[in-house]
Amino acid sequence: MVRKQKKSGPNSGKSAGKSAGKPFDKSSRRPPERSNDTSFDRQAGKSSAKAPGQRSTHTSNKANRSDEGGNNQRGDYRQRSDDQQDRQKDRQQDRQTNQFRPKHSDSVFLYGRNSVMAALANPKRECIRLFASDRAVETMDKSAVERVPVLSLAGPEMFTGLIPRDAPHQGLIMEVRPLPGYALEDMHPIEGQKNIILMLDQVTDPQNVGACLRSAAAFGARALITQDRNSPSESGALARASAGGLEITPWVRVANLSQTLEGLREMGYWHVGLDGNTEQTLKQVSLGDNIVIVMGSEGSGLRPLVQKTCDMIAKIPMTGAVESLNVSNAAAIALYELG
């Protein structure tokens, strides 16, 4: 009996022909070899082979991020270290600067040998601290130095805003309190001597006021009187211009000059105002021993009410080669002529 052969598909014959007479070898059906150098392409969504020895993109990016993080950490550490050093330097500078800050809100810094030595010799002056160079201290009187604490004089930049940058301090700078004020009642004439008072009307320059104090001290004036407004207060520049006169001549500050002249008249003083627009000279003035010399500013001169309150107006005779004198020079001449 002959068995019927089962029909297959169209390709069955070919397959049978090829394998006819040959045993089937399972080992021949090996799976395709995989490459170990593959990486996942996230953008394309598929695996791509890499050349041997080439690092994958994912691994490389991860390493780069790690390196960048380490560099950033090191940079942050260096930045923090630099900031700490800067803060330490700032604290040191602040401590040094605080040492030279005024002890009191009304402190005055005097500078220069004459100003400092005159202040130390004045028992009415409250001296706080003396900043001095070693060389300057060696030339000073020991008894004067013992009156005030002495600190080593650092660079003048420490005193920026307290004294002028180009101030000739001569190695001596002293912090003091302002002198106590004087009352007008203290200016009563003293019998048996000349009582000359110098009054300044609207003189605002510290150098001029200081120079007038110097002249007043040199010619023995009883006091200097200024208005409490529109006139300078104590300062290092004024004290230096006075060359010690600030510590010698009493300085009276009043609210109203005209009223002050009336009060001085009641005490027995006569008043002479200086003005170039008059015929009478200082040599022609004869008012006795108790005289108030009233001087105005170089620009505007005496104010009308102050001039009206004076008993006499006189001038300093000049050749006419110059229009006027500096107020401190005119004060020196008047003090000498009437003193």
Reported as a single tens digit per residue, the pLDDT across 188-240 is 999 999 999 999 999 999 999 999 999 999 999 999 999 998 899 999 999 99
- Print the domain residue range for 155: 108-176
Q: Which of 176, 196, 214 is the last residue of a domain?
A: 176
Residues 311 and 194 in one domain: yes
C-alpha closest to that of 129 among 98, 160, 157: 98
Residues 203 and 333 in one domain: yes
C-alpha closest to that of 241 among 277, 205, 208, 273: 208
Reported as a single tens digit per residue, the pLDDT across 288-325 is 999 999 999 888 899 999 999 999 999 999 988 888 88
pLDDT of residue 41: 47
**Strand runs labelled E in the chain:** 38-41, 46-49, 108-111, 127-132, 150-152, 172-176, 195-201, 223-227, 251-254, 270-274, 290-296, 312-314
pLDDT of residue 2: 44
pLDDT of residue 140: 81
Per-residue DSSP letter, 247 = G
Q: What proportion of the chain, given as a percentage, has pLDDT over 90?
A: 48
Q: Which of 176, 211, 234 is the last residue of a domain?
A: 176
**Would residue 101 count as lying in a domain?**
no
Reported as a single tens digit per residue, the pLDDT across 242-279 is 999 999 999 999 999 999 999 999 999 999 999 988 99
pLDDT of residue 73: 62
Q: Which of 116, 149, 176 is the last residue of a domain?
A: 176
Reported as a single tens digit per residue, the pLDDT across 38-60 is 444 444 444 444 455 555 555 55
Most confident of 44-58, 78-92, 125-139: 125-139
Residues 124 and 237 in one domain: no
**Would residue 119 count as lying in a domain?**
yes
Report the domain count for the chain.
Answer: 2
CATH of the domain at 212: 3.40.1280.10
